[in-house]
Amino acid sequence: MGADDPRPQRREQPSRSAGRPRLVPRTLVGRRSEMEPREEILDIAAALFVDGGIAATSTRDIAEAVGVRQSSLYYHYPCGKDEMLAELLQRSIRPTLDKIEKIEILGAEADTGPEVLLYLLVMLDVRTLANAPRNAGVLTRLPEVQCKEVFESFGAAREELRAAYSRLGTQVAAAHPEVTMAPDSDLLGTLLLHLVEVVIGMRSDGHLITPTIEAIVAASCLRICLADQTSIDEATTRAADLIRSLE
């Protein structure tokens, strides 16, 4: 190109050295969601943990998937993966546990029968599992999670929930003395807990947890406690009126 050529001169672009891709500022790539940074980190961590396991997922993997530096990840979760895992485990159970006392107080104050109270507990528990980030309830079944120290607090919380199921289930069975097939209290609580946790497997299979599924699980729990259909129908109607006061 000659000196008198009127076309604009193109500037040479410096070559980019090979290696790790540079971090693209979030303002350039845009947010994937409206989540706060801490929530977004937890959501992505949950997806990676569920898909690939805890040990196989590094904090670098999480940071790169979110689009932040590892230092930003540790700002929100100073203890790294264990802290994220602990929070995910609690989110699969704590929202239900926090409502148990309210449910039992409701029974005392509103003259509400045990069938309604158990139905309410199941509804809340199904919703907790349905709303757990990326089906984080799956993590509670992984051997690599069950051997971790953070699992101990989850295990204690799960036992507290099982005890609540046992109490309410026993009360439902006692309200139907004409039936003599009810299992003992401890076994009843375990059966109810495992029946509700079917939601975890359903989510893994790609099912959306709809109000219909919620109602089927709740009714099935009452049937395990030997409640008759009339009691189940009444509990369904009453629980629908009361659930808003608990959420």
Tens of pLDDT, residue by residue over 71-122, are 999 999 999 999 999 999 999 999 999 999 999 998 888 789 999 999 999 9
Number of C-beta neighbours around residue 136 at 10 A? 26
Q: What is the CATH number of domain 90-245?
A: 1.10.357
The per-residue pLDDT for 180 is 65
The per-residue pLDDT for 168 is 97
Q: Cα dist. 212→79, 101, 241 in Å?
A: 40, 26, 16
Give the whole-angstrom CA distance, residue 3 versus residue 200.
Answer: 72
**What sign for the dihedral angle of Cα 74, 153, 247, 50?**
positive
Query: Is the distance from CB of 132 to CB of 88 less than 8 angstroms?
Result: yes
Can you give the pTM of this predicted structure?
A: 0.85
Domain 26-78 class? Answer: mainly alpha
Percent over 70 (pLDDT), the chain: 85
Does position 16 have pLDDT exceeding 50, yes or no?
A: no
In our burial notation (b when 16+ CB lie closer than 10 A, e otherwise), range 39-75 reads ebbbbbbbbbbbeeebeebebeebbbbbbbeeebbee
Write the pLDDT tens digit of every residue in 114-132: 999 999 999 999 999 999 9
Give the start-to-end residue ranges of the domains of the chain.
Answer: 26-78, 90-245
Does position 21 have pLDDT exceeding 50, yes or no?
A: no
Query: Is the distance from CB of 218 to CB of 198 less than 8 angstroms?
Result: no
Query: Is the distance from CB of 217 to CB of 100 less than 8 angstroms?
Result: no
- For residue 196, the one-letter residue type is V
Give the whole-angstrom CA distance, residue 99 versus residue 93.
Answer: 11
Write the pLDDT tens digit of every residue in 40-62: 999 999 999 999 999 999 999 99
Alpha-helix residue ranges (DSSP H) falling in the chain: 26-29, 37-52, 59-66, 70-76, 81-91, 94-109, 114-131, 143-146, 150-174, 185-196, 198-204, 211-224, 229-242
Mean pLDDT of the chain: 88
The per-residue pLDDT for 32 is 54
Give the whole-angstrom CA distance, residue 133 versus residue 148.
Answer: 20
